[in-house]
Amino acid sequence: MRLLAALVVVAAACGGDKKAVDAGHDSPPPIDAPPPSVLTVDCASVTPVGATITTIDGTFAYMPATDTINLNDVKQFTMSSTHNVVPNATMSDPGLHVNFNETKCLKFTKQGTFGFHCGPHGFQGSITVQ
């Protein structure tokens, strides 16, 4: 009976803290992704540049589909109930999101071309920041 109790104690001790046997515990933590360079700002406190990027139920395009702005400019997006804005997998930014039936102002703080698409329908648009 003592042998059985000793085995239970040893088995319980072995299954505990896995950090102690983790081979990678001495490696540096992974580098986090850079912060988004497309930032949501309050539409009431800014003046967006150019035409608002919109969608209309029953159509399958952003209007306008492309635009060129200057660094730190703000674009207003107004989506209908059936369309949204999702960043493209490459050459875009995780901050570039506008939900269905939402109006949102986005400030672009990095130069480049930011591609996006409608999640359910796939039509595309882009903002080029000079």
- The domain segmentation of the chain, as residue ranges, is 34-129
Read off the pLDDT of residues 76-125 as tens digits, 9 standing for 90 and up: 999 999 999 999 987 678 899 999 999 999 999 999 999 999 999 999 99
DSSP label at residue 109: -
| Structure confidence at residue 91 (pLDDT) | 66
pLDDT > 90? residue 70: yes
Where is 116: in which H helix or E strand? strand 112-117
Q: Which CATH superfamily is domain 34-129 in?
A: Cupredoxins -  blue copper proteins (2.60.40.420)
Calculate mean pLDDT across residues 36-45.
93
| Structure confidence at residue 2 (pLDDT) | 52
Alpha helix positions (H), the chain: 2-14
pTM above 0.85, yes or no: no
Q: How many CB atoms within 10 Å of residue 62?
A: 22
CB-based burial of residue 116 (10 Å sphere; 0-12 exposed, 13-18 middle, 19+ buried)? buried
| Structure confidence at residue 5 (pLDDT) | 47
Read off the pLDDT of residues 54-69 as tens digits, 9 standing for 90 and up: 998 889 999 999 999 9
| Structure confidence at residue 32 (pLDDT) | 61
